[in-house]
Chain A
Amino acid sequence: MIDLEFVINTLSLGSLYALLALGLVLVYGILKLVNFAYGEYIMIAGYAIYLSATLLHAPWYLTLLIAVLAAVLVSYLTELIAFRPVRSQSPNALIVTSFAVSVFLQNVVLIMVSPRARPVQLPFFFSRTIEIAGATVPLRNLLVIAVTAVLLVALSLLMKKTVVGMAMRAAADKFTTTRLMGVPANLVISTAFVISGLLAGVASIFWVSRSASVDPLTGAAPLLIAFIAVVTGGMHSTLGAVVGGFVYGLVFNLLSVTLPASMISYRDAFMFALVVVFLLFRPAGIIKRGYTEERVG
């Protein structure tokens, strides 16, 4: 039951979920906003593949590039146009705005494209399978692991080695104090949204490839997964999000192979129940802050 195929499938599902979670936590860390429009960046990227393939007849690599760029652009623009003006208001204003952006984007594709699902043409090699030590694995699953590994390394270098990365980590810890260093608030927030959009775009490629279609509500499920992974992993660090993503993938796959066939359709319910019980015992998530804030005065 726990064989190489299981391991690879779990790693690939975990990778996808880690990407999803990471994109959500980056913005949360800085704005303390659970961005409900995050799922829509994934949905938009799906439509970008569909539209660039059908309207522009773009080759597969261009469709993927356009998809990622579209998610980045939409993420960046939503911050600029929607979130920035209400940022200085209450945190509630931000949350309401993110709901509004989410509904707005859904309606844009609903009106401009169609309420019905559209087929998404993915690269021919995505569905190829290859044999590794007797296990049959779709190439797509290996690709998502490789792409995630590259992105995680790149992101961690960015956060550790560049000043913007340092500023983002600092801002996630103490936003106002980061501004007191002279770091522009807008720079840090825009960067967070751009990276969030990038991760959403890349994750979208692998997400929509599972059903090979996209519809206006495509973003709901990945948003929920990202949110649960982030809460389980720990909201205070990018590491928590990544760990949460992989743990989510592992538990999900374990349920898939252990639950009797009659109960497979209740897999999500089991998943949520497990998360709730886990959070009762460890509300801070798997990864806690490495130090505790000293209270002064």
Chain B
Amino acid sequence: MAMLTVENLEASYGAVRALHGISIEVAEGELVALLGVNGVGKSTTLKSIMGVLRPVKGTITFEGQEITNRSPEKIVKRGISLVPEGREIFGTLTVEENLRLGAYVGFKRDRYKADLEEMFELFPILKDRFHQAGGLLSGGEQQMLAIARALMGHPKLIMLDEPSLGLSPAMTDQIFRLIVTLKERGSTILLVEQNAERALEIVDRAYLLANGQIEHAGTAEEIKRKVDVASVYFGDQTDADSCEVSL
């Protein structure tokens, strides 16, 4: 049985309907991608799962229990963590404080130190910047902090919203390698990406979103085969490199 099941999810911002019935599934230990161009509703899907946005229709089930319409803090407690688009680091707080808040849910004093050491191993830069304000970190460093902050809460499912957005190619490589590492460590991951080519190299399955609907779904291989048909999604303009330039 799937860990996360989203059924016929509809969401809107005021009168503007953003999602028109989306169904996705993520099984335990899977790395699944949600792909699509700007504005198709990827972030909206994650925000709805997280309870930040109230769905208009549809159900969201996590570990066999319905979590539709729960508050974000309750959903985090159940074991889902979102690394938001744009990283959303607490800029006035130090790296240490950012990580401490990440550990807020289910905090256990005895494992906290060990968790920090683990994060330092995954992201050595965080050790150097431990006492610095989060807002002073570079974009890539902030992304690592955002991921580390989410991991500190021991989520069962971690959702990453465009972790490579605005990063240099080298930093993008590093983030993608990290995602693979996380999967190998047993994390269940739902990855939102515009950089479909890169994402399809590492994921098990993928959903292709267009206009608030799932257009294609399948294993990475199956989607790649469809890519040539629907090459419109994978033009160079969604490349990380061009992202850099446009900043």
Contact = CB atoms under 8 A, between A and B. Distances in A.
B82 A180 contact: yes
Nearest to B107: A163
B105 A181 contact: yes
A174 B100 contact: no
Interface string A37-80: 00000000000000000000000000000000000000000000
Interface in A159-185: 163, 166-167, 169-170, 172-174, 176-185
Interface in A206-224: none
| Chain A interface bracket (under 10, 10 to 19, 20 to 34, 35 or more) | 20 to 34
A183 B73 contact: yes
B92 A182 contact: no
Given A169-B92, A290-B133, A182 B84 contact: no
A39 to B, nearest CB: 28
A170 B139 contact: no
A284 to B, nearest CB: 15
Given A180-B72, A181-B102, A181-B104, A291 B133 contact: yes
Interface residues of B, number: 36
Contacts of B165: 296-297
Contacts of A290: 91-92, 133, 135
A289 interface: yes
A289 B73 contact: no
B50 interface: yes
B159 to A, nearest CB: 10
Interface of A: 163, 166-167, 169-170, 172-174, 176-185, 237, 289-294, 296-297
Interface of B: 50, 52, 71-73, 76-77, 81-82, 84-88, 90-93, 97, 100-102, 104-107, 133, 135-136, 139, 142, 149, 153, 162, 165-166
